[in-house]
């Protein structure tokens, strides 16, 4: 194992002595002195350019060399790696934060150590490489001391995930939340925090006994619970219909349920208004036929609930289908052999097996609803929820970041509560059903009641979704949707025009720029999200380490905070050294990755807790390492989870708006930001045409992901002849 | 196994390094003048193209609502990435000036500017100047009013008529600058007590306090509500887009916004930023509004006023006190009073 440590030690030196330590962003050009020799490496800069605080890094780097030089089983070897790596990492971080562009970052430090003649720029390539090297040295050291059963891979993975989460979740979120106790004069005041947290418009319960509005927390909780329940129910119904019945048009069903997830949220809202608004098609028809007077019932709780359910059911479905597919039929067969009726089998065997899926689907629905911003914004009416309140506390006329932070803390608390309840409900039971024991059962038919209920829920919803999307697609071809329905291709030509100029093809349409950026960002962030998420899921389910519960909760953090707050926090945290990312595409990608990672984690956790450990163990017994076990045993069984996280993160990268609205720069404009601008302008035609194009694009990508990743093949007898030829896993 | 592990961690590590390298690579934004734009996107694009043609300086333009722009400028304050903030209501520009986010500048076009544009310059201590003005007014759905045989509203008092019960939309002043302008305008017309009396009565007729200032205009155009309180150019916009709406300004007098331009303090492209500032105030630069079908009134007297723009001579303007109603304390006081007396009742 020595040579891997040696590699990282060498890389640490390369980053320190050879590569440019600082980022080359323009803000640093004035700071970086004209370099003699290898420009701006930390070694040169520290010795020749007066940035003496970089020189001490030589000590931990030398410690690394010492560790590698020692004989393999020398007791000092891991200690040197561990201490050297940790000290190096710590020193790099501390000096990075303490010394900014113009010298000391805090006046207190200047008073303590005297003024600095010069500051420093943001971390660049060299710093990144050296820090990564320090990190892996530290984790190797830990593993060498016997942590994680001496497994470097696990130790390294935990270290990597922890560091990334610390950097891209804790740091920005901490920046924002710390302002919740801002007493006005820049100091922290517990009283201010208490006042903000207990404001009556947050907690009042007036709506129970008089015709006033309730506190925003109760509104949010009620909405989120309803959305969570409805999406879980619908997701379950769809999953049962798709997996456990002989329903023929399963492909169509799958497509229909996936449609809403690949739609920018306000498009659904718009379609819902055009159907159910006061002058909507359905409303007017009802008024004509049944004399029901048109009203604005859609604005407020009903409308938001409807659109959120439309938007989040597909996610519940994606989580549920993996779980339902994974239930081993042999248990159900055993129940039936013991003369249990279909209903008893379903209630006592199938349903309990689905509990992790149900709990995860509910948790995601609940939190998605809490964090959702677009739908309450357009359809909320006078029904206030936390996410919009937070947004307007930041950008509204009152602009009170402290209040936004306090509301953010409450929102986090709600998510924590939901998370805790989910854990309580699941308990410590085992849900493993995918084992190596060749489960060759045939899934029993669903009890009639359940089957009817599943169909009765899924089919009308599918039809409803279909109508809604039909209208959206149709709307893109009309002159002025809802008013002048004559057909035209004008909007598409406007957005996606191509002309042939003298130098070749000219992308003349107005949408091309943002479309290309969007595809690039989504394409890069999807695999990253899936990788980080599934790796975290593996650590959570398969490894045991101290602080695991807290670790699991922290991974959910960025998901629970509304996108707007995340967006502002990313600017606050990453606009100046030591980490300067604003205006780059990387900040968009990182924000999207760490925001969507929790879904990938949830899908991975749900799927992985079904896979019996005996599979890992037999693989390990046969001499495979952790990594080989993951690659050859776990990953193939995780295909539904991989598909779910790839699809989800790709789609969210395209459709999310609130988090990225602060992060898009003129060079990196995203499709949704552009579309929202068109909607504001009242140019619905182009907005809808563009959205339709995005829907088609995302549909194609989803199909491609399914094709490439493939289905999970679990050896089970089915009536399908092809499946019979497959070997049991 | 060791080899495999090295390979794996190595790959992840390399990926991490590559990502940071990507992040650290110089952004091309640095070569361009970065402008936050507060008006509709057409106009943003039009003025960027016109300026590039004239000066040869490439512009990176990003459309942001006033609140978003201010939040971004605040977050960036320690290391500004933006050079100019152009367009959007004067109020947040004044706030930015008050917080020292923008820097003073003078223009060669001073002599040609409307007095209201210069008063913005004075009040911001030179840190901001008006480029266009928009009047507060009503937008109503002509077809639906005719169908119900209701005469269009002409005065603030008309909005209290019983036939408008549940038919008025206005934004929530806590969220929208437009609605705050309306609140401050009413306070200046009727006095604070009178204004809150009026708002309490109006509350019966309001069906929704929207979150965005221009949302009532699109709701009116689709017939979701009969009347909306908006900046008139938002209403005219819907009309030009082919919706059956019309706009009017109230007979008791009305407030207005002064769309402004400010140079960000700490910009690294001061010369280019100044060039854009001058261009935004020149007749040529201001004409881009009409070309982009935006119907605000330009602040340069020599710039052509679009025929669709409201004729400011026909509008009864109040002497809007931006100084008083722009300060943080007054704003906070009025907004929390609105919250406790109007918003928490019933709706």
User: Per the CB < 8 Å rule, is B174 touching A397?
Assistant: yes
Q: What is the pLDDT of residues B239-258, one digit of tens each?
A: 887 889 999 999 999 988 88
Q: What is the pLDDT of residues A537-587, one digit of tens each?
A: 888 887 777 777 777 777 777 766 767 678 778 877 887 777 878 777 888
pLDDT bucket at A30, cuts 50 / 70 / 90: very low
User: Per the CB < 8 Å rule, is A397 touching B335?
Assistant: yes
User: Per the CB < 8 Å rule, is B17 touching A128?
Assistant: yes
* pLDDT above 90 (res B273): yes
CA distance B38 to A395: 13
Touching check for A123 and chain B: CB below 8 Å?
A: yes
Q: What is the pLDDT of residue A299?
A: 84
Same domain, B83 and B108: yes
Is the distance from CB of B143 to CB of B223 less than 8 angstroms?
A: yes
- Residues B18-35, mean pLDDT to the nearest whole number: 55
User: Per the CB < 8 Å rule, is B20 touching A394?
Assistant: no
DSSP conformation class of B309: S
- Chain A / chain B CB contacts < 8 angstroms: 230
Question: Which of A660, A666, A667, A668 to mutate: most B Cβ within 10 Å?
Answer: A666
Most confident of A42-51, A567-576, B3-12, B118-127: B118-127
CA distance B6 to chain A (A): 5
CA distance A25 to A461: 51
User: Per the CB < 8 Å rule, is B344 touching A213?
Assistant: yes
User: Is the residue at B13 inside a domain?
Assistant: no
* pLDDT above 50 (res B126): yes
User: Is the residue at B163 inside a domain?
Assistant: yes
A3, A398, A528 ranked by CB distance to B332: nearest? A398
B27, B212, B331 ranked by CB distance to A667: nearest? B27
| Minimal-distance CA residue of chain B relative to A152 | B5
Burial class (CB in 10 A: 0-12, 13-18, 19+), A725: exposed
- Residues A695-717, mean pLDDT to the nearest whole number: 74
Same domain, B172 and B36: no
Domain around B162: 135-255+328-343
The length of chain A, given as a count of residues? 729
Q: What's the CATH superfamily of A203-432+440-448?
A: MetI-like (1.10.3720.10)
Q: Does residue A280 sit in helix, strand or coil?
A: coil
CATH code: domain of residue B209: 3.40.190.10
Same domain, B89 and B154: no
User: Per the CB < 8 Å rule, is A665 touching B179?
Assistant: no
Number of domains in chain B: 2
What lies within 8 Å, CB to CB, of B108 at 6+ separation is B278
* pLDDT above 60 (res A336): yes
CA distance B69 to chain A (A): 8
Q: Which residues of B touch A7 (CB under 8 A)?
A: 6, 10
User: Per the CB < 8 Å rule, is B208 touching A7?
Assistant: no
CA distance A207 to chain B (A): 9
Q: Does residue B136 sit in helix, strand or coil?
A: strand
Sign, CA dihedral A300-A302-A308-A310, equals: negative
A27, A395, A484 ranked by CB distance to B79: nearest? A27
Q: What is the pLDDT of residue A550?
A: 78
Q: Which residues of B touch A673 (CB under 8 A)?
A: 63
Question: Which of B75, B86, B325, B326 to mutate: most A Cβ within 10 Å?
Answer: B75
Is the distance from CB of A665 to CB of A618 less than 8 angstroms?
A: no
ipTM computed for the complex = 0.77
Is the distance from CB of A152 to CB of A139 less than 8 angstroms?
A: yes
Closest CA relative to residue A354, chosen from A221, A259, A443: A443
Same domain, B104 and B74: yes
Question: Which of A150, A682, A685, A686 to mutate: most B Cβ within 10 Å?
Answer: A682
Question: Which of B222, B225, B325 to mutate: most A Cβ within 10 Å?
Answer: B222
Touching check for A149 and chain B: CB below 8 Å?
A: no
Q: Looking up tokens 């693989």, which residue turns up?
A: A619
Touching check for A163 and chain B: CB below 8 Å?
A: no
Touching check for A550 and chain B: CB below 8 Å?
A: no
CA distance A279 to B243: 14
* pLDDT above 80 (res A385): yes
User: Per the CB < 8 Å rule, is A23 touching B217?
Assistant: no
User: Is the residue at B199 inside a domain?
Assistant: yes
CA distance B190 to A43: 70
More confident residue, A548 or A24: A548
Beta bridge partners of B254: B317
Q: Does residue B245 sit in helix, strand or coil?
A: strand
CA distance A381 to chain B (A): 6
Question: Which of B14, B18, B20 to mutate: most A Cβ within 10 Å?
Answer: B20
A380, A581, A682 ranked by CB distance to B23: nearest? A581
Same domain, B109 and B193: no
Stretch among B8-17, B127-136, B200-209 having the lowest mean pLDDT: B8-17
| Minimal-distance CA residue of chain B relative to A273 | B224
CA distance B278 to chain A (A): 22
- Residues B93-100, mean pLDDT to the nearest whole number: 89
User: Per the CB < 8 Å rule, is B71 touching A681?
Assistant: no
Stretch among A21-35, A505-519, A556-570, A668-682 having the lowest mean pLDDT: A21-35
* pLDDT above 60 (res A594): yes
Same domain, B226 and B338: yes
Q: What is the DSSP secondary-structure string of A597-647?
A: HHHHHHHHHHHHTTB-HHHHHHHHHTT--HHHHIIIIIHHHTHHHHHHHHH
CA distance A686 to B40: 15
User: Is the residue at B7 inside a domain?
Assistant: no
- Domain A509-709 fold is MetI-like fold (1.10.3720)
A125, A571, A680 ranked by CB distance to B76: nearest? A571
pLDDT bucket at A184, cuts 50 / 70 / 90: low
Question: Which of B10, B18, B19, B27 to mutate: most A Cβ within 10 Å?
Answer: B27
CA distance A300 to chain B (A): 9
Most confident of A2-6, A92-96, A495-499, A656-660: A92-96
More confident residue, B315 or A547: B315
User: Per the CB < 8 Å rule, is B62 touching A669?
Assistant: yes
Most confident of A274-283, A392-401, A490-499, B143-152: B143-152
Q: What is the pLDDT of residue A265?
A: 65
User: Is the residue at B19 inside a domain?
Assistant: no
Q: What is the pLDDT of residue B250?
A: 93
User: Is the residue at B63 inside a domain?
Assistant: yes
Residue B302's H or E segment, with its range, is none
CA distances from B227 to A57, B153, B241, B247 (A): 68, 8, 18, 10
CA distance A519 to chain B (A): 17
Q: Which residues of A touch B32 (CB under 8 A)?
A: 666
Q: Which residues of B touch A575 (CB under 8 A)?
A: 75-76, 78-79, 81
Rg (CA), chain A: 28
B42, B61, B71 ranked by CB distance to A666: nearest? B61
Q: What is the pLDDT of residue A432?
A: 61
Q: What tokens does A55 get?
A: 């020189």
Most confident of A348-357, A493-502, B69-78, B114-123: B114-123
Q: Which residues of B touch A160 (CB under 8 A)?
A: 12, 16
Mean model confidence pLDDT for chain A:
78
From chain A residues 224-283, the ones with a CB under 8 A of any chain B CB are 273-274, 277-279
Q: What is the pLDDT of residue B25?
A: 43
CA distance A632 to A729: 11
Is the distance from CB of A682 to CB of B228 less than 8 angstroms?
A: no
Stretch among A238-252, A449-463, B271-285 having the lowest mean pLDDT: A238-252
Touching check for A714 and chain B: CB below 8 Å?
A: no
- Residues B101-111, mean pLDDT to the nearest whole number: 91
Q: What is the DSSP secondary-structure string of A290-311?
A: H-PPP--TTTTHHHHHHHHHHH
Same domain, B128 and B156: no
Q: What is the pLDDT of residue B28?
A: 41
B2, B32, B67 ranked by CB distance to A395: nearest? B67
Q: What is the pLDDT of residue A729?
A: 33
Touching check for A632 and chain B: CB below 8 Å?
A: no
Same domain, B249 and B189: yes
Is the distance from CB of A162 to CB of A551 less than 8 angstroms?
A: yes
| Minimal-distance CA residue of chain A relative to B177 | A397
Q: What is the pLDDT of residues A343-362, one digit of tens each?
A: 888 888 878 888 878 888 88
* pLDDT above 80 (res A179): no
Q: What tokens does A97 get?
A: 């934060």
Same domain, B111 and B163: no
Same domain, B57 and B73: yes
Whole-prediction pTM: 0.76
* pLDDT above 60 (res B10): no
Same domain, B82 and B67: yes
| Minimal-distance CA residue of chain A relative to B233 | A681
- Residues A419-429, mean pLDDT to the nearest whole number: 73
CA distance A216 to A386: 6
User: Per the CB < 8 Å rule, is B75 touching A576?
Assistant: no
Is the distance from CB of A375 to CB of A327 less than 8 angstroms?
A: no
Same domain, B273 and B126: yes
Question: Which of B1, B2, B9, B272 to mutate: most A Cβ within 10 Å?
Answer: B9
* pLDDT above 70 (res A408): yes
CA distance B2 to B275: 62
Q: What is the pLDDT of residues A278-326, one digit of tens each?
A: 877 788 888 888 877 777 788 888 889 998 888 888 878 877 887 787 7
Q: What is the pLDDT of residue B239?
A: 87
CA distance B345 to chain A (A): 5
User: Per the CB < 8 Å rule, is B6 touching A7?
Assistant: yes
pLDDT bucket at A386, cuts 50 / 70 / 90: confident
Mean model confidence pLDDT for chain B:
84
Q: What is the pLDDT of residue A438?
A: 56
């Amino acid at each position: 194992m020595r040579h891997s440590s040696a590699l990282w030690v060498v890389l640490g030196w390369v980053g320190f002595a050879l590569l440019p330590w600082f980022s080359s962003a323009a803000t640093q050009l004035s700071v970086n002195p004209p370099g003699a020799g290898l420009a701006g490496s930390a070694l040169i800069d520290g010795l020749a350019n007066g940035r003496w605080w970089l020189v001490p890094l030589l000590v931990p780097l030398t410690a690394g060399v010492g560790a590698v030089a020692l004989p393999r089983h020398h007791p000092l070897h891991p200690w040197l790696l561990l201490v050297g790596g940790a000290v190096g990492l710590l020193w790099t971080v501390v000096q990075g934060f303490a010394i900014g562009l113009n010298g000391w970052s805090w006046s207190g430090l200047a008073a303590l150590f005297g003024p600095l003649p010069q500051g420093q720029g943001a971390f660049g390539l060299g710093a990144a490489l050296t820090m990564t090297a320090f990190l892996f040295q530290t984790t190797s050291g830990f593993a060498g001391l016997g942590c994680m059963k001496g497994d470097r891979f696990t130790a390294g993975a935990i270290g990597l995930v922890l560091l990334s989460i610390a950097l891209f979740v804790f740091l920005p979120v901490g920046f924002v939340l710390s302002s919740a106790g801002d007493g006005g004069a820049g100091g922290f005041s517990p009283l201010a925090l208490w006042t903000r947290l207990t404001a009556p418009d947050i907690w009042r319960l007036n709506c129970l006994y008089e015709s006033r509005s309730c506190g925003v927390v109760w509104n949010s909780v009620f909405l989120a619970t309803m959305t969570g329940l409805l999406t879980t129910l619908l997701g379950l119904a769809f999953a049962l219909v798709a997996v456990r019945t002989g329903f023929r048009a399963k492909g169509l069903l799958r497509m229909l349920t996936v449609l809403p997830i690949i739609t920018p949220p306000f498009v659904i809202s718009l379609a819902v208004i055009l159907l159910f608004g006061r002058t909507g098609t359905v409303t007017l028809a009802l008024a004509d036929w049944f004399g029901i007077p048109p009203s604005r019932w859609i604005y407020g709780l009903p409308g938001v609930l409807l659109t959120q359910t439309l938007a989040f059911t597909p996610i519940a479905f994606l989580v549920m289908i993996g779980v339902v597919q994974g239930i081993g039929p042999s248990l159900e067969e055993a129940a039936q052999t013991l003369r249990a009726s279909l209903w008893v089998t379903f209630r006592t065997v199938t349903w309990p097996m689905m509990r992790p899926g149900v709990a995860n689907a509910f948790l995601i629905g609940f939190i998605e609803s809490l964090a959702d911003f677009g739908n309450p914004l357009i359809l909320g009416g006078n029904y206030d929820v936390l996410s919009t309140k937070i947004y307007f506390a930041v950008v509204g006329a009152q602009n009170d970041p402290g209040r936004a932070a306090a509301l953010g803390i409450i929102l986090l608390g709600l998510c924590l509560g939901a998370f805790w309840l989910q854990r309580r409900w699941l308990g410590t039971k085992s849900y493993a059903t995918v084992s190596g024991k060749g489960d060759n059962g045939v899934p029993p038919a669903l009890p009639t009641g359940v089957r009817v209920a599943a169909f009765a829920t899924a089919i009308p919803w599918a039809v409803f979704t279909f109508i809604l999307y039909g209208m959206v697609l149709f709307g893109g071809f009309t002159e002025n949707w809802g008013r002048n329905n004559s057909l035209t291709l004008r909007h598409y030509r406007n957005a996606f025009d191509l002309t042939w100029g003298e130098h070749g093809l000219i992308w003349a349409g107005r949408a091309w720029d943002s479309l290309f950026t969007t595809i690039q960002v989504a394409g890069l962030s999807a695999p990253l999200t899936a990788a980080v998420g599934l790796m975290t899921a593996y650590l959570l389910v398969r490894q045991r380490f101290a602080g695991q519960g807290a670790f699991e909760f922290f991974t959910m953090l960025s998901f629970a905070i509304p996108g707007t707050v995340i967006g502002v926090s990313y600017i606050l945290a990453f606009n100046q050294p030591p980490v300067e990312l604003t205006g780059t595409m990387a900040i968009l990608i990182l924000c999207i990755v760490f925001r969507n990672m929790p879904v990938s984690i949830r899908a991975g956790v749900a799927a992985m807790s079904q896979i019996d450990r005996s599979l890992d163990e037999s693989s390990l017994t046969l001499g495979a390492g952790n990594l080989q076990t993951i690659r050859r045993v776990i990953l193939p069984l995780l295909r539904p989870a991989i598909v779910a996280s790839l699809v989800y993160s790709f789609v969210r990268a395209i459709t999310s708006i609130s988090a990225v609205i602060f992060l898009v720069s003129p060079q990196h404009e995203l499709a949704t930001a552009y579309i929202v601008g068109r909607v504001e302008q009242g140019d619905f035609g182009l907005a809808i045409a563009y959205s339709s194009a995005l829907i088609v694009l995302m549909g194609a990508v989803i199909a491609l992901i399914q094709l490439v990743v493939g289905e999970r093949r679990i050896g089970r007898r089915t009536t399908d002849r092809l499946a019979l030829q497959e070997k049991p896993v | 196994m060791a080899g495999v592990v090295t390979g794996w961690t190595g790959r992840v590590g390399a990926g991490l390094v590559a990502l940071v390298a990507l992040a650290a690579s110089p952004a091309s934004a640095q070569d361009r003048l970065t402008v936050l734009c507060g008006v509709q996107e057409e106009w943003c694009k039009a003025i960027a193209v016109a300026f590039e043609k004239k000066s040869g300086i490439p512009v990176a333009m990003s459309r942001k609502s006033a609140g978003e722009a201010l939040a971004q400028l605040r977050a960036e304050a320690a290391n500004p990435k933006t050079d100019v903030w152009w367009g959007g209501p004067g109020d947040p520009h004044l706030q930015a000036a008050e917080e020292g986010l923008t820097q003073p500048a003078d223009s060669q076009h001073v002599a040609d500017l409307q007095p209201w544009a210069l008063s913005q310059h004075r009040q911001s201590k030179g840190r901001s100047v008006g480029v266009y003005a928009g009047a507060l007014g009503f937008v109503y759905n002509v077809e639906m009013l005719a169908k119900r045989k209701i005469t269009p509203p002409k005065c603030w008092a008309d909005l209290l008529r019983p036939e408008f019960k549940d038919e008025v939309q206005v934004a929530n002043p806590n969220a929208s600058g437009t609605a705050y302008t309306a609140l401050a305008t009413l306070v200046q017309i009727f006095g604070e007590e009178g204004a809150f009396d009026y708002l309490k009565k109006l509350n019966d007729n309001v069906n929704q306090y929207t979150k965005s200032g221009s949302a009532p205009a699109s709701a009116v155009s689709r017939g979701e509500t009969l009347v909306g309180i908006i900046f008139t150019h938002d209403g005219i916009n819907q009309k030009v887009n082919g919706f059956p709406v019309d706009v009017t300004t109230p007979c008791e007098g009305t407030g207005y916004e002064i769309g402004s331009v400010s140079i960000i303090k700490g910009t690294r492209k001061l010369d280019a930023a100044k060039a854009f500032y001058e261009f935004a105030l020149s007749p040529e630069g201001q004409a881009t509004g009409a070309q982009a079908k935006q119907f605000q009134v330009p602040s340069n007297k020599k710039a052509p006023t679009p025929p669709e723009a409201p004729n400011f001579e026909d509008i009864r303007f109040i002497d809007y006190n931006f100084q008083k109603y722009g300060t943080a304390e007054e704003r906070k006081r009025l907004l929390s009073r609105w919250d406790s007396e109007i918003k928490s009742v019933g709706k």
